[in-house]
């Protein structure tokens, strides 16, 4: 009770989108850098943007989750790109991520795609487990490395 999906509204929801994404990914290596409302606004003008493909999950009028579906290609075939899919930490572990993911898969089907893909941080074991349990298969793996140059 009290949960509701709402479509993202351009020029209104950018700050809520950033708030959720930045809190949810604050401790994930490679995703710690906050995004800005300008970055979200630019996202809505990109060629891969799908009207209605960005949703916010609310609980009692408070935005707590985001979901983005965008048009892409993989192996020269059209595919729905799911991500980010994020919940603020207080709401994680309640099955809401699964609901977000299933909403994305339904959007994928409704929009006429027969395939979807997503990327997940390799250290995010809970997310990886969720995606595998919902039928996703790992097809690629990427390792990101950093080298810090000594200061003079």
What is the per-residue pLDDT across 63-113, written as a single tens digit (0 to 9) for each? 999 999 999 999 999 999 999 999 999 999 999 999 999 999 999 999 999
Cα torsion 23, 29, 32, 37 to 10°: value is -80
Q: How many CB atoms lie within 10 A of CB 34?
A: 13
Q: pLDDT band at 31, cuts 50/70/90? A: confident
Provide the pLDDT for residue 140.
81
Q: pLDDT band at 33, cuts 50/70/90? A: confident
Provide the pLDDT for residue 38.
97
């Amino acid at each position: 009770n009290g949960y509701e999906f709402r479509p993202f509204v351009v020029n209104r929801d950018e700050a809520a989108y950033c708030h959720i994404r930045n809190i949810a990914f604050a401790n994930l290596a490679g995703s710690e850098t906050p995004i800005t409302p300008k970055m979200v606004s630019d996202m809505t003008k990109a060629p891969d943007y799908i009207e209605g493909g960005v949703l916010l999950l609310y609980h009692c009028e408070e935005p707590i989750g985001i979901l983005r579906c965008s048009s892409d290609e993989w192996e020269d075939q059209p595919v729905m790109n799911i991500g980010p899919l994020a919940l603020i930490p207080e709401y994680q572990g309640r099955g809401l991520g699964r609901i977000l993911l299933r909403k994305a898969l339904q959007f994928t089907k409704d929009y006429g795609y027969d395939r979807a893909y997503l990327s997940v941080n390799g250290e995010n074991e809970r997310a990886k487990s969720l995606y595998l349990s919902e039928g996703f298969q790992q097809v690629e793996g990427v390792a990101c490395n950093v080298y810090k140059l000594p200061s003079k």
